[in-house]
Structure 1
Amino acid sequence: MLPRSHQLNPQIVPLLQATATALDAGRADEAERCLMQIRPIQPDHPEVLRMLAGLHSLRGRHVLAVRAMQQAIAARPDDALYHNTIGMIFGAAGDYDLAIEALQQACRMDPKLTIAWYNLGVMLTRCLRHQEAIPALRRAVSLAPQHPRARALLADMLHIRGQIAEAEAEYRHILAGQPWAGVAWWGLADLKTTRFKAEDVGKIRHAMRHPRASEDDRIAMGMALAKALDDAGDYALSLAALADAHQLARTRHVWNRQAFEASKQATAAAFASPLPAALTPDLGKEVIFIVGLPRSGTTLVEQILASHSSVEGAGELADLPLLLTEESRQRGQPFPQWVGDMQASDWERLGQRYLQRTARWRQQRPISTDKLPNNWEYIGAIRAMLPGARIVICRRDPLETCLSCHRQHMVNNEYTRTFDDLGAYWKAFDQTARTWLQQSPAHVFEHDYEQMQAEPETSIRQLLAACGLPFEAGCLSFHETTRVVSSPSATQVREPLRRNTARAQRYGPLLDPLRAALGQPPLDPLPTSGQAVQGATTHT
């Protein structure tokens, strides 16, 4: 195979190298400036197209990214790295099936391509195919023992299996050799039960200035630093660290609030009038969807339900949005534009396809859960595709929910970056939840997190009844249930129910901008805001 530099104009080689470096570091503006100089000279060279595809993907322009990369692959069909690149582009667009297919092809073409094995492990993990992900990650680590992200993802696997001490040791091992590895610092922060020590604050600050730290590293370290400062009771400094980390992330990708709100309005309009649902009235009766904002208790609800003898907790499945994306591609229209053209047979087809894709989760138990929080955006489609399915909408105090989202390092959840965007996102969720609770009370149930903390048995009995399940005492001791949990709440659901999870009061008036974004009044001022914040530091 010819080298990638074949027929490349020598004039643009340094610029192309600079573009690749900028893309690897997440510096979209810098990459774009380089490409603006390159493209007038040699726009159709496959390497130029590959860089252009990477820029489009970084900017969130997924259709353009795929188109550019497909053109590049047409010129170099046997290049494993090119198949790796398009795999990651598919993954960034949320099309995990195509991503896995492309990455598997890259691994077959070049079994020694470390990045392809690692990326394959990432995509398999996102699809909860953990048994397949672990060998791919081990292969990446065997090829590159110092690959921090591959090692960190293996540590994540230990975390979700409840092996906290082993996971912490693995993250610390990474940092011993690469103190700038943001993924390891965030991995420690995400263990939840592990408190940072005073010296960790200084270590993180020092690592953020390391010349080898990428923007991804600094974003992850900034989020970890905020956790360390919170552990120390320095709430103002913790919020400042979060603001810096989120601002750095926003230089790469800004959440388009206007487009999101327009999309939600279009979805509401598409499902406002009764639609022809799937032909089989009880289709989907074997599925329970658990939706809500991240950090609102969705993992806890799934853990409770998975403690029932009839229920398998499948986790955060990507199948529903992937099916809707597939339908959009076939119809040449984005969701929900094609909803009005759907017949009952079309919804039946989608519902049956969903059940086929998720059948493996019901091999041992008759009912499975689907706990992808953002599926609240698709409740209308769920009701049409799977009219027999139950939908549990999880609610938690909006201030606590949004603060927790803001403190969590959630890649591709760009609405978490600012208080105003968080407020807009929560309001859209709130309106959607209210609409479907009113329209489908027999199949849509609201679970209140704070009510469960106050009256756990009553709340759990109500949850089981709403899901059509008889009460089982094992659901009250959900923390004893052994299963893989791959969400940020993996540690908490293995503990008895805690009643001191509220954090907003510790920040006092510092959260007034978030209160305003949620339409809440400011906190009544206390004699000194410092006393208000420092006075609530006794629990974590």
Structure 2
Amino acid sequence: MSPNDKEINDAIMLYEKALVHQQSGEIDNAIKCYKDAISKNPNLWQAQNNLANLALYKGEHGEAMYLYKKALELDSENPIIQNNIGNVLIGQRKFQEAKKWFSKSLKKDPNYVEAISNFGLCLAEENKIDEAETYFRKAIKINPSFSNAYNNLAMILKKKEKFYEAVKEYENAIKFNPNFSDAYCNLAISLMDIGKINEAETNFLQALKVDPNNVHTKISYAGFLKTSGKIDQATKLYQSIISENPDIDAELYRNFAHTKTFSREDQDIRRMELIIKKNNLDKHSKTHLCFALGKAYEDLGQIEKSFNYIKEGNAIVRKTYQYDTNDMKKYFNNIIDIFQPDLIDQFRNSGLGEKNHIFILGMPRSGTSLVEQILSSHTKVCGGGEIKYVEDSITEVGKKRQSTYPESVKTFSSADLAEIGSLYLNKTKQFLGSEEFLTNKLPQNFLYLGIIKLIFPKSKIIHCTRDPLDNCISLYKNYFVGHQGYAYDLEELGAYYNLYKKLMKHWHKLFPDGFFEIHYDNLVKDQKDQTLQLLKFCQLDWEENCLAFHKTKRIVNTASSVQIRKPIYKDSLEIAKKYKDLILPLANILKEN
């Protein structure tokens, strides 16, 4: 039965009232008014569509899809509804399906910028970065004030590590939508990338002012507090988020665990134990809870229980990918076979004259973050963090030769090495301000030490070492966001460590005076003497700030982000002793070295 004129008019009034509630953030009131409008006029597709929008906003993907489909029954060719169905599928990570709906929407309206931008989002999720960028720029060309497209374009530029360009596009998104909470948050994260801590915090706070209940922003801000050294504030915010959202992504529990010291009666341990015992718990959640509980029980001194959780978490991750130690042996041996004295002689005079780059390398968890924090406390040094541009630049030039590292090195000319160096310099110049030196503390740059020496013979290379067992167990008990394929099985970890030592021995033979070696234990035991030697090697004058490195304000996005906010302490020495028989497979393999 069709609605009469009064019901149609009443429905429109309720719909308009719902819009006011929605724009004021009164979501429950908006939902009630939309439902009342639909009861008056079931043919009002706009009310069905907006009701679905609110379900999607609340994360209720199933309900949103049901409501959008109902709206589509009222207007089967409506490009807005088709686009919104695609949005639900993006939330469900069904990108191929989502693209079909965006294509339908664009067939009806080729200039519908939301569908163009959303299609680009799918491409970005499929790692088709350049194609995605084309779609976002197309949307902006059609509608230069479409803030979502600027936000999405900035996301792509950030992925390409064009941080300053990303900042500019996030600012454009905000210019055209001053209440765009996500854009403020994303801008803050990009400002973190370029070390602008104060500006980053300002934008996080603005994002929360615009949308105080945005959980994603709260999580990102807590991460900022943690990595910028405001550990107590981070702990309180994590605690607040968990209390308000007990079913939050378990990764939050892991990050939270590393900001606090657990006590015996700690309710957070009980909460995590209850969650991990759920029968239907997914592997992602279980992994992060295992590492969180491993940290908690280590704090309590219950080492075996801690280790069992860590072992379980590692085992879950290890089942998710392919890794073969024999393949890794071939890779390391290829590097050694290619980098021989004749190759070094061939390129001895091909390097660039740059001398303001400091490379800090070694195994992860060997003290690279600590060394960088000490150096970046010097007024002449900018801490660049883990910069991937050495590998990226080698790969970029290698593609022209249709070859990959290390085989690509055999095809390189002096001009190729110069191009790799120029690419690296162009990409890293965005990090330097008034400082004279830039550090790059990506540990696995030890794989490229030979080519770094050829391209930048005047650069400073610092090799961080640590007791092998301590280094490996510290790796094993920390979850790595970046993939470290060797790190999730004790025997594979030990084998990789031995390969690393073999390669470093080779580099030492090729370049006997080519790098400075600093041992973590020595640095902890005699901080001042080791710091003096470190600064002398880098040709830097002594500055007291380097001893008070824990007070230096900068972003540290590594597993050491909490530890380096404290003065040097000796608790991190001989940590493997407490694990004793639990790590015998690792100890036995390391003895082979």
For 2:237, the aligned partner's letter is: E
Percent of residue pairs identical:
24
Structure 2 partner of 1:506:
578
Say if 2:418 is the partner of 1:348.
yes
Q: Once the 2 structures are TM-superposed, how far is the Cα of residue 375 of structure 1 from its aligned partner?
A: 1.6
Say if 2:518 is the partner of 1:447.
yes
Q: Which residue of the other structure, out of 555, 559, 572, is the alignment partner of 1:488?
A: 559
Q: Which residue of the other structure, out of 280, 299, 306, is the alignment partner of 1:238?
A: 306
Structure 2 partner of 1:528:
none
Structure 1 partner of 2:317:
249
What SS is found at the alignment partner of 1:335? coil
Contact persistence 1:196–1:231 (CA under 8 A): no
CA deviation digits over 1:431-478, x for unaligned, max 9? 222222222233312111112233333323332333233445553444
Tell me how far apart the structure 1 counterparts of residues 322 and 260 of structure 2 sit (CA, whole Å). Answer: 28
Q: Once the 2 structures are TM-superposed, how far is the Cα of residue 339 of structure 1 from its aligned partner?
A: 1.9
Contact persistence 1:81–1:106 (CA under 8 A): no
Say if 2:384 is the partner of 1:314.
yes
Tell me how far apart the structure 2 counterparts of residues 175 and 149 of structure 1 sit (CA, whole Å). Answer: 12
For 1:198, the aligned partner's letter is: D
Tell me how far apart the structure 2 counterparts of residues 412 and 173 of structure 1 sit (CA, whole Å). Answer: 27
* Cα distance change of structure 1 residues 254 and 55 upon mapping to structure 2, 3 Å threshold: farther
* Cα distance change of structure 1 residues 218 and 96 upon mapping to structure 2, 3 Å threshold: farther
For 2:236, the aligned partner's letter is: A
Q: Which residue of the other structure, out of 466, 471, 477, is the alignment partner of 2:537?
A: 466
Listed as ranges, the gaps of 5+ residues in structure 1 are: 24-30, 59-64, 522-540
Q: 1:12-411 maps to which residues of 2 (within 5 A)?
A: 21=92, 23=93, 65-66=126-127, 70=131, 78=139, 95-97=160-162, 108=173, 125=192, 141=208, 145-181=212-248, 182-191=250-259, 197-208=265-276, 215-255=283-323, 257-272=325-340, 273-274=343-344, 276-277=346-347, 283-411=353-481
For 2:587, the aligned partner's letter is: R
What SS is found at the alignment partner of 1:291? strand
What SS is found at the alignment partner of 1:394? strand
Tell me how far apart the structure 2 counterparts of residues 397 and 167 of structure 1 sit (CA, whole Å). Answer: 31
Contact persistence 1:277–1:383 (CA under 8 A): no
* Cα distance change of structure 1 residues 144 and 378 upon mapping to structure 2, 3 Å threshold: farther
CA deviation digits over 1:338-396, x for unaligned, max 9? 32232223322332332343335543332222112222222122112211101101011
Q: Which moved more, 1:259-268 or 1:139-148?
A: 139-148
* Cα distance change of structure 1 residues 17 and 375 upon mapping to structure 2, 3 Å threshold: same
Q: Once the 2 structures are TM-superposed, how far is the Cα of residue 511 of structure 1 from its aligned partner?
A: 1.3
Tell me how far apart the structure 2 counterparts of residues 431 and 43 of structure 1 sit (CA, whole Å). Answer: 54
Contact persistence 2:170–2:184 (CA under 8 A): no
Q: Once the 2 structures are TM-superposed, how far is the Cα of residue 323 of structure 1 from its aligned partner?
A: 2.6
Q: Which moved more, 1:146-155 or 1:250-259?
A: 250-259
Root-mean-square deviation (Å)? 4.6
CA deviation digits over 1:155-180, x for unaligned, max 9? 12212332221111111111011123
What SS is found at the alignment partner of 1:414? coil
Q: Once the 2 structures are TM-superposed, how far is the Cα of residue 290 of structure 1 from its aligned partner?
A: 0.5
Q: Which moved more, 1:117-126 or 1:312-321?
A: 117-126
Tell me how far apart the structure 1 counterparts of residues 243 and 545 of structure 2 sit (CA, whole Å). Answer: 42
* Cα distance change of structure 1 residues 508 and 260 upon mapping to structure 2, 3 Å threshold: same
What SS is found at the alignment partner of 2:497? helix
* Cα distance change of structure 1 residues 365 and 71 upon mapping to structure 2, 3 Å threshold: closer
What SS is found at the alignment partner of 2:517? strand
Tell me how far apart the structure 2 counterparts of residues 99 and 209 of structure 1 sit (CA, whole Å). Answer: 45
Structure 2 partner of 1:530:
none
* TM-score using structure 2 length: 0.68
Tell me how far apart the structure 2 counterparts of residues 275 and 264 of structure 1 sit (CA, whole Å). Answer: 21
Tell me how far apart the structure 1 counterparts of residues 576 and 215 of structure 2 sit (CA, whole Å). Answer: 34
What SS is found at the alignment partner of 1:274? helix
Tell me how far apart the structure 1 counterparts of residues 419 and 193 of structure 2 sit (CA, whole Å). Answer: 25
Contact persistence 1:278–1:346 (CA under 8 A): no
Tell me how far apart the structure 2 counterparts of residues 409 and 391 of structure 1 sit (CA, whole Å). Answer: 27
Tell me how far apart the structure 2 counterparts of residues 113 and 87 of structure 1 sit (CA, whole Å). Answer: 14
* Cα distance change of structure 1 residues 54 and 228 upon mapping to structure 2, 3 Å threshold: farther
Contact persistence 1:137–1:154 (CA under 8 A): yes
CA deviation digits over 1:471-524, x for unaligned, max 9? 455534444544443433233333332123132111221111221342369xxx
Structure 2 partner of 1:526:
none
Contact persistence 1:394–1:447 (CA under 8 A): yes
Structure 2 partner of 1:434:
505
For 2:339, the aligned partner's letter is: F
Tell me how far apart the structure 2 counterparts of residues 108 and 357 of structure 1 sit (CA, whole Å). Answer: 25
Tell me how far apart the structure 2 counterparts of residues 424 and 55 of structure 1 sit (CA, whole Å). Answer: 39
* Cα distance change of structure 1 residues 229 and 125 upon mapping to structure 2, 3 Å threshold: same
Q: Once the 2 structures are TM-superposed, how far is the Cα of residue 73 of structure 1 from its aligned partner?
A: 7.7
Tell me how far apart the structure 1 counterparts of residues 393 and 321 of structure 2 sit (CA, whole Å). Answer: 26
Contact persistence 1:66–1:89 (CA under 8 A): no
Say if 2:484 is the partner of 1:417.
no
For 1:379, the aligned partner's letter is: L
Tell me how far apart the structure 1 counterparts of residues 123 and 499 of structure 2 sit (CA, whole Å). Answer: 28
Aligned length: 494
Tell me how far apart the structure 2 counterparts of residues 120 and 209 of structure 1 sit (CA, whole Å). Answer: 38
Tell me how far apart the structure 2 counterparts of residues 495 and 474 of structure 1 sit (CA, whole Å). Answer: 14
Structure 1 partner of 2:588:
516
Q: Which moved more, 1:440-449 or 1:346-355?
A: 346-355
Tell me how far apart the structure 1 counterparts of residues 168 and 283 of structure 2 sit (CA, whole Å). Answer: 25
CA deviation digits over 1:80-111, x for unaligned, max 9? 999999998998xx754499869958995996
* Cα distance change of structure 1 residues 108 and 363 upon mapping to structure 2, 3 Å threshold: closer
Tell me how far apart the structure 2 counterparts of residues 88 and 217 of structure 1 sit (CA, whole Å). Answer: 26
Structure 2 partner of 1:536:
none
* Cα distance change of structure 1 residues 175 and 125 upon mapping to structure 2, 3 Å threshold: same
